[in-house]
């Protein structure tokens, strides 16, 4: 079994700028900069033969390249507690088109439809043990955060192994955009 997800890799310069936001919140588990990405579709555990089908389905996607803009910060809540801190991603036509192509391709090979609405973001930290007032203060202090747009010319199929401190993400296949 292999654990997979489809994502946009981020350039090193963007990762470095995002990393400068990390820290200052006790109890937050900060994502290592090498793990920053924008998930287009989480797939989960699949057999090796199914991973091959996933690769073939993704290789057939035709979509134009586009620009990605990161702006603002926010939180996700689960069970009344703030569970994650993230940087927002502007939802553009190009991004929405690619995400919908990925979703359709994966459903065609028999994967269940994604139940969550697509909310493009880059996770900075897991925060279930952080004081809510610190998280709210962080969001207020950084809500005007903005980076210049970057060109997106490919998307990537990653495998993921859960590690002791952080997951290890391995880029398996890159798919070029037109």
Residues involved in catalysis: 37, 121
CA 92 to chain centre: 15
DSSP state of 114: P
Pairwise CA distance, residues 138 & 46, whole Å: 37
Q: Two tokens at 37?
A: 């990405």
Q: Which residues pair with 46 in a beta bridge?
A: 2
Burial 28-62 (b: 16+ CB within 10 A, else e): bebbebebbbbbbbebeebeeebbebbeebbeebe
Contact 33, 18 (CB under 8 A): yes
Measuring CA to CA, which residue among 8, 23, 10 is closest to residue 142?
23
Contact 1, 45 (CB under 8 A): yes
DSSP state of 149: -
């Amino acid at each position: 079994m292999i654990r997979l997800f489809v994502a946009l890799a981020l350039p090193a310069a963007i990762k470095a700028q995002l990393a400068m936001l990390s820290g200052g919140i006790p109890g937050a588990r900060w994502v290592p900069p090498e793990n920053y990405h924008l998930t287009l579709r989480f797939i989960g555990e699949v057999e090796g033969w199914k991973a091959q089908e996933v690769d073939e389905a993704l290789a057939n996607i035709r979509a134009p390249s586009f620009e990605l803009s990161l702006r603002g910060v926010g939180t996700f809540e689960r069970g009344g507690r703030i569970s994650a801190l993230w940087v927002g991603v502007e939802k553009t036509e190009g991004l929405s088109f690619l995400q919908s192509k990925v979703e359709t391709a994966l459903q065609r090979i028999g994967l269940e439809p994604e139940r969550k609405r697509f909310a493009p973001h880059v996770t900075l930290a897991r925060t279930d043990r952080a004081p809510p007032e610190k998280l709210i203060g962080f969001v207020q202090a950084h809500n005007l955060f903005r980076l210049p747009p970057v060109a997106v010319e490919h998307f990537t199929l990653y495998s993921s192994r859960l590690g002791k401190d952080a997951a290890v993400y391995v880029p398996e296949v890159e798919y070029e955009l037109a």
